[in-house]
Amino acid sequence: MRTSKRIILDTDPGIDDALAIILSLRSKELKVEAITTVSGNVPVRLGTRNVRRILRLMGLKDLPMIAEGSSLPIKEPPLWTYEIHGKNGLGDLDCFFNDDSELDEDWIVSRKAIDLIFEMIEKYPNEIIIVTLGPLTNIACAIEKDKDKMDKVQGIIMMGGAVDVKGNITPDAEFNIFFDPHAAKIVFDSGIPVIMVGLNVTRKCILRKEELVRITEGKREKIEEFILGATDRYMEIHLKKTGRAYCYLHDPLAVGVAIDPTLVKMHKMDIDVCIDKKRGKTFCKKKDFQSEIQVCTDVDSKRFLRLFYERVFES
């Protein structure tokens, strides 16, 4: 009897996206059927290349299908975050990727992200969970193209949003929603079941430098060295601000919720998003127990961190 949940990862790698991809592929509870890419932290073509780089770094032979998605938000201009993730999106650790010169267009599947999403839904109706780690552009475009097909997903687990807490790109907005607020609104209004894993909970999941060094001691294989190097850049931002080296596990927590929803407490809310003056602000219009949107309001961060360490740094 199959117990693994079938998921599609929709991602914009991104350092914490890389951690989330590793976590998903090392968790027996999940079967990653496909990985689709979207513009967000980096342009979509670079994000697609980064997915392949991560999979190669993991030494995987049985690879999920990869497809490239939207290169631009629906209406807004893009906003890359090179200052956080580096020019290559993975902490500028080019020494790990010196052997990928042959990664040309041949390894990208010919179909586009939306087509691959539809293909997976048709193959596994009512089974696919889409876990979004970046802006919601691909998902919104898929809904606009064929809502009937998208109604056959089991649900969407999205990293994004901030309800009653400050944003991380503006005081009001979380980055993924800010990048493409029009897409977020389409998804929120679609009636498709959504679990919103926002800054309310991801900021409680903290990866600290001293703990990372301790956990990886004696396990310094290539993947561990990459994670140490990539997160070092990510942590430097907080080190300069606070004097402590750490980063938040935003995207990995969304994967964690896919693995084990009991890691979080959720409340159904009627969520909307601002598309004008307070671009990207997510807010609760009312607590509506008929809503298909569940907002994560608390997390067992200690239990999630144990799971994260055990899976990502498996023996």
The residues that are catalytic are 12, 250
Per the listing, tokens 């127990």 go with 289
Omega of the bond prior to 256 within 30 degrees of 0, cis?
no
Nearest by Cα to 117 from 43, 189, 10: 10
CA torsion through residues 16, 100, 64, 60, sign: negative
For residues 144 and 100, the answer to whether their CB atoms sit within 8 Å is no
How far, in Å, CA of 201 to CA of 296, rounded?
A: 7
How far apart are alpha carbons 151 and 171 in whole angstroms? 34
Pairing of strands 30-37, 5-11: parallel
282: CB partners within 8 A, 6+ apart: 160, 161, 162, 163, 173, 174, 177, 184, 196, 198, 271, 272, 273
